[in-house]
Amino acid sequence: MTVKDVIRILDAEVVSEGDLGAEVKTACGSDMMSDVLAFVKDQSVLLTGLTNPQVVRTAEMMDMRCIIFVRGKDPGADVIALAKQKDMTVLKTNHRMFTACGLLYTNGLSGGTFSR
Amino acid sequence: MNNVLSFDYTVPGDDFTRAGEASSDVKHKLKKIGYNPEAIRKVAIAMYEGEINMVIHAGGGNAHVDISPDRVNMVLRDHGPGIENVELAMREGYSTAPEKVRALGFGAGMGLPNIKKYTDSMKIDTEVGKGTTLYMTVLAEHKTAR
Ligand SMILES: Nc1ncnc2c1ncn2[C@@H]1O[C@H](COP(=O)(O)OP(=O)(O)OP(=O)(O)O)[C@@H](O)[C@H]1O
Ligand SMILES: [Mg+2]
Query: DSSP characters for B18-84?
Result: GTTHHHHHHHHHHHHTT--HHHHHHHHHHHHHHHHHHHHHHSEEEEEEEE-SSEEEEEEEE-SS--S
Cβ contact B54:B110 at 8 Å: no
Categorize the per-residue pLDDT at A112 as very low, low, confident or very high, splitting at 50, 70 and 90: confident
The answer to whether the CB of B126 is under 6 A from ligand 1 is no
pLDDT in tens, A66-92: 999 999 989 999 999 999 999 999 999
Cβ contact B129:B80 at 8 Å: no
Does the pTM of the predicted model rise above 0.90? yes
Cβ contact B75:B6 at 8 Å: no
Give the gap in angstroms from C-alpha B101 to the nearest C-alpha of chain A. 11
Which regions of chain B are under pLDDT 70?
1-2, 143-146
Q: Which residues surround ligand 2, an ion (CB under 5 A)?
A: B 53, 111
> Is residue A115 pLDDT above 80, yes or no?
no
Domains of chain B by residue range: 5-139
Task: Please choose, from the candidates B19, B113, B7, B93, the residue with its C-alpha nearest in 3D space to the C-alpha of residue B57.
Answer: B19
**Which of A31, A50, A57 lies closest to B24 in CB terms?**
A57
Mutate to test the interface with B, among A39, A57, A69 (most CBs of B within 10 A): A57
Q: Which fold has domain A3-108?
A: 3.40.1390
ipTM score for this prediction: 0.93
Nearest CA in chain A to B17: A53
Cβ contact B56:B107 at 8 Å: yes
Categorize the per-residue pLDDT at A114 as very low, low, confident or very high, splitting at 50, 70 and 90: confident
Domains of chain A by residue range: 3-108
pLDDT in tens, A26-64: 999 999 999 999 988 888 999 999 999 999 999 999 999
Task: Please choose, from the candidates B105, B137, B135, the residue with its C-alpha nearest in 3D space to the C-alpha of residue B118.
Answer: B137
B11, containing H or E segment:
strand B5-12
* A78 phi, psi to nearest 5 deg: -65, -35
Q: Which fold has domain B5-139?
A: Heat Shock Protein 90 (3.30.565)
**Which ligand lies nearest to the CA atom of residue B94 in the structure?**
1
Cβ contact A37:A59 at 8 Å: no
